[in-house]
Amino acid sequence: MNPVMLIAVPLIAAFISSLFAKRSSLLLLFAAFVNSVIAIAVSLSAINGSYSMGGWSPPYGIELVVTDMTRVLVPAVNILAFFAIVVYWRRQDSPGKYSIVYTISLAALNGILLTNDLFNLFVFLEIAGVSAYLLASTGKTGSSKVAAFKYLMIGSVGSILYLLGVVLVYATTGTLNISEIAARISLGQINGDVLLLSSLLFMIGLGVEAKLLPLNGWVPDVFTKSSGPATLVLASIYPLAMISAFIRVLLAVRDERTMGAVLVLGVATVIGGEVVAFGQKRLRRTLAYSSIAQSGLAILLVGVGTAGAIAASVMIIVNNALAKFVLFSVDGLAIEKIGSDDIEKITGFGRTSQVTGLVFTVSALSIAGMPLFMGFRAKLLVISSSFDTGLLIPVIILLAAAIEATYYFRWIFSLYKPPFSRVEPLKERLPLELLTIGIILAAVLVFLGTSSGETLAIFDRAGNFMEEIIFMGKTLIGGM
Amino acid sequence: MIQYFSMLLIAIGIYGLLSQRNLVKLVISLNIAEIGVNLFIVSIGYIEDGLVPIISSVNRTSSLVFVDPLPQALVLTSIVIGVGVTALALALIITIGKTKGSIDLTELGSSGGDDE
């Protein structure tokens, strides 16, 4: 199965739905379903390596690559997107007239995961970015538009800086192909100062979407003020693609000084996110700051840069995507049923529905890194791989994990505490789709946390993807 | 020379983004920075006395003094993307102006709170 179908199917669906606006949500569901099937087929059957586009072979044309990392992330993105649409299918704030934006964002996210060309990555980042600004503006209040505008501003500045970095790299190496660039840099053919400048530009440009510390001011406002399905997509699916782009580009343009900066900023992001999340009184804000902290964790591992660290980084983002999906959809349900997700209002919500409480608890424990869940193995790998940099980073990560566990336990307890006022059992039935998908995702988290080590071998292989990329590049420049 | 000029434009744009409070002026600053980057991209491909990279009846020899055509293709894409983003930003400003009654960042507030 050629992976280009993952980009083509949603794009065609988006074009068709611009003609039949009333049917656009059906087309979205269809595209997401077909994409999930193709993603599984690509993940299981496609051969690792390059797929050239438009009949131009790699150094001249755009190529898509399938690596072991793509194999993990592509099914995760597409299946979660399908689930997100199913969860909100019959609810009040279903994608509706915004369906076309979701369809295009699906195409762009797949493009980001698959492409092996710096400028093509820029185009897909912009498409994903513009879709994200639109998704951020779907909230009911006017302040969601202000949040979306601020997101647009900082996102555009980031993409300008990224473009500048791309052009500098092109001017020096004469190519836009990521594997060729990585191969030339690993052979030491590029001036170190150019490398430093362009990798710093990449760090800042991609850091906006990857939620690196000084650039993540947009996150809490966008995540709290946007509509339910948009938040779900932005919080659980976007980070998969954005952080994978960050990992690939920063490792290709490998510069030790920038890696040091990534490490320091990543640690600062983790601590900042966890500390602020601890003080929040609303569930959705807590989850938003926790997303920042999780991204910081995945980014600081890029700064460590070993294969084990990248494997840990991929595990962290997959764990974050699966768990945040459940947490944000339960939060959306609470807002819909109770009208608010303040810590006082939400007290006892877990008692009204056993299953909701259960899947929330499982996901929260997995994010917090408790044993038996996937998060535990991810955090274990994070700490063991960060020992390469000395003792300070693992200690800081453990400290941050302690803060994280504390506030997640507080939310779990308040979900089960008897409410202060009268108990008001919900009359309507809870949406079946949400419960089913919540149970599936919670089961996956438990399965990945308790299964034998062999199921996790795929993450270890994913951590080694850079060797493949550099090997492909060396073949391109004629093997040395 | 033109490369220094384009860096200056980027610097002006970023200064505008940091100093202005009016949303439309922010969009203009963004556009200035974008123009700077686009000029820089074009300047990368320029070669002194380079020829048009097309083999035609007038120019049959494929000498190596062609202007690099790739940055021009890149800049075309980047300009189109810039126009799209600007249009979206202006549309958002119109909605903000209608719902909030102001397009000034100081009057819109820091909006860090939970006003819903």
pLDDT, tens digit, for every residue of A360-380? 999 999 999 888 899 898 999
Q: Give the tens place of pLDDT for each residue, A167-187.
A: 999 999 888 999 999 988 888
Q: Give the tens place of pLDDT for each residue, A92-106.
A: 777 777 889 999 999
Provide the 3-class DSSP secondary structure of residue A342.
strand
CATH of B2-46+66-100, one of 3.40.50.1820, 3.10.310.30, 2.60.40.10, 1.10.287.3510: 1.10.287.3510
- Considering only CB atoms, which residues of chain B are within 8 Å of chain A? 10, 14, 17, 23, 26, 30, 33-34, 37, 40-41, 44, 70-71, 74, 77-78, 81, 84-85, 88-89, 92-93, 95-96, 99-100, 108, 111-112, 114-116
Strand-pair partners of A65? A50
For residue A78, the distance in angstroms to the closest alpha carbon of chain B comes to 25
CB atoms within 10 A of CB A179: 29
Query: Which residue in A130, A149, A160 is closest to B23 by CB distance?
Result: A149
pLDDT, mean of residues B86-114:
81
pLDDT, mean of residues B94-113:
78
Query: Residue A416 is encoded by which pair of tokens?
Result: 């089960």
CB contact under 8 A, B26 and A170: no
| Residue-averaged pLDDT of chain A | 88
What pLDDT does A369 receive?
Answer: 87
Question: CB under 8 Å to A454, separation ≥6 — which residues?
Answer: none
What pLDDT does B113 receive?
Answer: 45
What pLDDT does B110 receive?
Answer: 55
pLDDT, mean of residues A225-242:
91
Mean pLDDT comparison of A52-61, A175-184, A424-433, B79-88, highest-scoring range: B79-88
Q: Give the tens place of pLDDT for each residue, A19-61.
A: 888 888 888 999 999 999 999 998 888 788 888 888 888 778 8
What pLDDT does A427 receive?
Answer: 53
| Separate counts of helices (H) and strands (E) for chain B | 4, 0
Question: What is the distance between the alpha carbons of residues A214 and A268, in angstroms, rounded to a whole number?
Answer: 9
- Percent of chain A beyond pLDDT 70? 97
Scored b (16 or more CB within 10 A) or e, A329-358 reads bbbbbbbeebeebebebbbbbbbbbeebbe
A278 close to B (CB below 8 A): no
Mutate to test the interface with A, among B42, B95, B102 (most CBs of A within 10 A): B95
What pLDDT does A59 receive?
Answer: 79
CB atoms within 10 A of CB A11: 18
User: Count of domains in chain A?
Assistant: 1
Tell me which residue range forms the domain holding A378. Answer: 5-476
pLDDT, mean of residues A420-439:
72
**Separation of CA A307 from chain center:** 20
Residue-wise DSSP of A353-366 = -HHHHHHHHHHHHH
Query: Residue B74 is encoded by which pair of tokens?
Result: 């890149």
Spans of all domains in chain B = 2-46+66-100
Q: Which residue of B has its CA nearest to A220?
A: B112
Kindly list the residues from chain A whose CB atom is less than 8 angstroms away from the CB atom of residue B37.
160, 163-164, 167
Strand-pair partners of A51? A64
**Lowest pLDDT segment from A287-301, A417-431, B54-68, B72-86:** A417-431
For residue A161, the distance in angstroms to the closest alpha carbon of chain B comes to 8
CB contact under 8 A, B112 and A221: yes
pLDDT at B64 over 50: yes
Question: CB under 8 Å to A60, separation ≥6 — which residues?
Answer: none
State in Å, rounded, how far the first CA of chain A is from the last one.
32
A156 close to B (CB below 8 A): yes
Residue-wise DSSP of A112-136 = HHHB-BHHHHHHHHHHHHHHHHHHH
CB atoms within 10 A of CB A389: 18
Provide the 3-class DSSP secondary structure of residue A139.
coil
Q: Give the tens place of pLDDT for each residue, A88-146.
A: 887 777 777 788 999 999 999 999 999 999 999 999 999 999 999 999 998 888 888 99
CB atoms within 10 A of CB A121: 23
pLDDT at B54 over 80: no
Query: Which residue in B85, B111, B116 is closest to A130 by CB distance?
Result: B85
CB contact under 8 A, B89 and A149: yes
Q: Which residue of B has its CA nearest to A217?
A: B112
Q: Give the tens place of pLDDT for each residue, A55-84.
A: 888 778 888 999 989 889 999 999 999 999
Q: Which of B53 and B77 is assigned the larger pLDDT? A: B77
Q: Is residue A425 very low, low, confident or very high in pLDDT (cuts 50, 70, 90)? A: low
Q: Which residue of B has its CA nearest to A172?
A: B44
Q: Is residue A340 very low, low, confident or very high in pLDDT (cuts 50, 70, 90)? A: confident
